[in-house]
């Protein structure tokens, strides 16, 4: 019953489909849903992606509803979960560090400027679909729902890259202010091993690491930014985030030491959410083997830009 009704709800606002022009031959996928996660694997049984429905018991993370691991076509993991330097980071996730509404909350997990105790993103329903999954989550603060989230994820696997398209529909239950911060929002956290270099459509970025206390130090908006990591054995892997032009204005908190790709809609200024008026955010995430596939990322960005 849920899968049928959820698809009716979500399809009315989602028109982004898996990339078909930029990627060449694609692989069929197997979607397996369990109580703790939804697994997405190739037909050969190679893990590509996992969406966590329940917080891992062996971590300090309070919220579920995140993706980890996400792998390259050769099966190398590009994401990290609860690293020792930032144990609240969780693969590919969404959350803001300071929210003010019916209750104040920090769903990012930092805990310096808004409460994190009894603040967590809780999965209510989830189901596999032909091309990925749908999920319904509540952003809870002391038993009160602050935001109702509907998520649609579509995936595509090929020898060139694995692609994850995400559309978040966030409906606030009261007026909410997202305070101005240089970081938080949508984030991809990479692993700690190896040398990391950032790239944009213009080539390697030599901009200095931004300061988490200075939004103006964030990097300028771009169609995409990519993190290329050279692992200790010499293997190169690339992860990238493509921003949709219909998202609110963003600056990017891409930090080499913190090893995250973070288009922050709160960096240009605070964001006001009105009760009952959904905020829709769209991101495309790419994982590839080898050096940064600039031409492919540009093509994927053009396709994403054209999606309504």
pLDDT reported for residue 96: 98
**Dihedral of CA 65/87/219/264: which sign?**
positive
Q: H or E stretch including 9?
A: helix 2-11
d(CA 261, CA 258): 9
d(CA 100, CA 71): 35
Q: Above pLDDT 70, what percent of the chain?
A: 93
Nearest Cα to 308, choosing from 64, 100, 13?
13
DSSP state of 109: S
pLDDT reported for residue 20: 53
Other C-beta atoms lying within 10 Å of the C-beta of residue 275:
12
pLDDT band at 270 (very low <50, low <70, confident <90, very high): very high
In the structure encoding, which two tokens stand for residue 80, read together? 């990290």
pLDDT reported for residue 308: 66
Angle, alpha carbons 115-84-256 (nearest 5°): 95
pLDDT band at 10 (very low <50, low <70, confident <90, very high): very low
Domains in the chain with CATH codes? 2-306 (2.70.98)
121 contacts 133 by C-beta, under 8 angstroms: no
* pLDDT (tens digit per residue) in 110-162: 999 999 999 999 999 999 999 999 999 999 999 999 999 999 999 999 999 99
Mean pLDDT of 288-296: 98
Beta bridge partners of 41: 30, 47
d(CA 200, CA 170): 28
Angle, alpha carbons 76-77-79 (nearest 5°): 155
* pLDDT (tens digit per residue) in 36-82: 999 999 888 889 999 999 999 888 899 999 999 999 999 999 999 99
On the question of pLDDT at 11 being above 60, the answer is no
pLDDT band at 297 (very low <50, low <70, confident <90, very high): very high
CA distances from 270 to 184, 273, 286 (A): 12, 10, 28
């Amino acid at each position: 019953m849920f899968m049928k009704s959820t698809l009716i709800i979500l399809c009315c606002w989602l028109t982004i489909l898996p990339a078909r022009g930029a990627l060449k031959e694609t692989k069929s996928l197997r979607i397996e849903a369990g109580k703790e996660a939804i697994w997405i694997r190739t037909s050969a049984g190679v893990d590509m992606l996992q969406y966590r429905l329940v917080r891992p018991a062996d971590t300090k993370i309070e919220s579920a509803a995140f993706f980890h691991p996400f792998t390259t076509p050769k099966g190398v993991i590009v994401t990290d979960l609860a690293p020792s330097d930032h144990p609240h980071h969780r693969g590919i996730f969404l959350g803001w560090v300071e929210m003010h509404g019916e209750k104040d909350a920090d769903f990012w997990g930092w805990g310096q400027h808004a409460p994190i105790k009894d603040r967590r993103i809780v999965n209510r329903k989830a189901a596999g679909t032909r091309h990925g999954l749908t999920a319904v989550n509540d952003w809870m603060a002391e038993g009160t729902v602050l935001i109702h989230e509907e998520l649609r994820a579509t995936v595509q696997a090929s020898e060139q890259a694995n692609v994850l398209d995400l559309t978040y529909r966030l409906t606030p239950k009261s007026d909410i202010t997202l305070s101005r911060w240089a970081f938080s929002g949508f984030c991809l956290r990479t692993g700690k091993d190896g040398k990391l270099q950032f790239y944009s459509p213009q080539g390697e970025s030599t901009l200095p690491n931004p300061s988490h206390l200075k939004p103006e130090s964030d990097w300028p908006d771009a169609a995409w930014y990519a993190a290329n990591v050279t692992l200790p054995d010499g293997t190169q892997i690339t992860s990238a985030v493509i921003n949709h032009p219909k998202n609110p204005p963003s600056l990017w908190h891409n930090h080499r030491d913190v090893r995250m790709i973070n288009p922050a809609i709160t960096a240009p200024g605070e964001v006001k959410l009105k009760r009952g008026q959904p905020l829709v955010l769209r991101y495309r995430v790419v994982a590839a083997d080898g050096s940064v596939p600039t031409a492919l990322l540009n093509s994927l960005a053009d396709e994403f830009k054209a999606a309504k």
